[in-house]
Structure 1
């Protein structure tokens, strides 16, 4: 039927009124097989589909009007050599016609590169296809039936084996249009090529409840997209939590084929940015670097388990630590007066202190290198960090607005981290990525 499309578009009506008829132009010599040839192959495919069509889907066996036991008996009794003889079809003929069907599918398919995802989808999802996308799929299914038949003949020594599809990696060939090739291409790789990878480009790890509440608002206030496929926020909730395995599994690249000094990456890179207080675990730059090195070693171990090893300078780019200068997030972003004013609003008597006294206590806590919680230690009731975060948000928002209006104003550190993390995530655009292998 697709051969008729261009001819119908050029049809003309002839004859007098009441005796009109539509005339199609002659078939082009380049139009492909003649209708009689298609009729012959339609019969061949109809014979073969009972044996091969149910096994094309990779999700489960699809049978109609027959129970699995009966079909399995039919499959065991099916002889491809005798069938080829009865149909008077040679393996070479079957392969050539299958390639013709796949070439036409490639020409007809309006979905372009998205056809790779369609082919990778389970067969139950194909039922929603319409128009030329469905026509192209039908051509691919028919071609797959014929090629699976040829493979069956080859397994019995009655035909030459089909070439591996990876042998066509540098040029297009009809065989790369096969539905079965979806088994060879990881879903992550297909989604990455299309720019719809579900894996976050960056994971931003923050330490406490205050950050957990305020960081998403900072992103929103800056107009930065933080959808899970671009950037995810992870709250550690405690200073000493070991993120080694989480970071290793999140950041470790999935290695594809090695070409020269590089590995193809099956999915786009994921980086991690850790923003933390300089507490006991992160007290010195040496401690920061020691923990970061541990993470990189764990990532390399995951890579080694895949049978490869990558240049560690490549991994260093994917693991970043941002350390606040003050002892905690609150002291980093707010003045003693701003904190004292907020605490006085949240607590009914502020521990018996007036505002100047509360400012002095806050300043002393900062100087002592303690956490902000030390200010209200022993008070009844205690102030909860989520309450403090919500109350501090208007002040932080005003500082962001001030920095947006005035280039000379200080950018709140968390806003700078958010911008950097977002820029890093955006730098991992869709497409294929490579990572350098470790030198031998």
Structure 2
């Protein structure tokens, strides 16, 4: 069953035709291709507008597990949710069978496609995760993952090389338990999935890809995973089609927050008209797909796997977003400005900031004197008991609702109670540059 994790990650990142690169929000690192630097998104957004979607190593593994039908969190986990140093977390023990480092490192060993490989930096506190593909003819490990130099790619672990003791070392592997699966995989059991004993064939020049650094992700895994009525193997849908399949598509678009060309919600009437096509094209652009308005296999797969935007009815913070949006639109009116997409994106970031501050509603949006900062306020403006969340106006105006929606979920997960035994330790400032991918 865990072989589907490999299959789904391979389909999503390496065979879909979409372009990816390594991404993380807290720093920019040099890579190969695109604009020469990593993206600021780890959740498959193109924040630097170079045509490549950003994804880090743990989000890569999360996607494979999510699409394979496992009950992973709604927002991607981090490496420290799975292991710390040599030690798997309680979460890992609950949902995976743990394979010790000596066994995982063994030449022509017992690893199976879909096992999650765990690496640690020998010279620092960095960590990396990847998905085992198979062994080559000499018994060496091949894996797929997202590395800073290459982004998603296949890597061959050469004896004594970068991934085999020179810089990183394998500390173990995780095999997902059958009970962790909660639904069927998107693509089913692929016929070309490698077996544990079959040699893996390298498809990339990423053998010597260099990992990046990544600060620990302290989110606590949950089991809320969005579900959308978008079967992956039905016939393509296009303008002019009618029926239940179209109605399900329209419901998914509404659930996810994608609107028509005039910014109106899609009504699930079962008629694929121009407004539905415009919403489909918006979804396709946001997910790195060809914006042709046709809902084929790739678009259906993306719809099935997508997390709702903040303006989608399916997002848990949608009500708070609507309050933020109303407040920002009132602020626009005060300054005789017409509300637009930038206004809604500011509202999205304010929602994320409000979640981080523990706010339960947004009553006002205000600017500082030079309009460089925007604030969400809960309570009366002159009340000593008000709560305030702050954001950079320019950054907020350029942050997509997809990204804000993911960030708010991550923040909410971080705020959830964590077992004392698995609470990650903050990396001291002196170690902050240690590689963790």
- TM-score, structure 1 normalization: 0.21
Structure number, greater radius of gyration: 1
Greater strand share, structure number: 2
TM (norm. structure 2) is: 0.22
Q: Give the helix-richer structure, 1 or 2.
A: 1
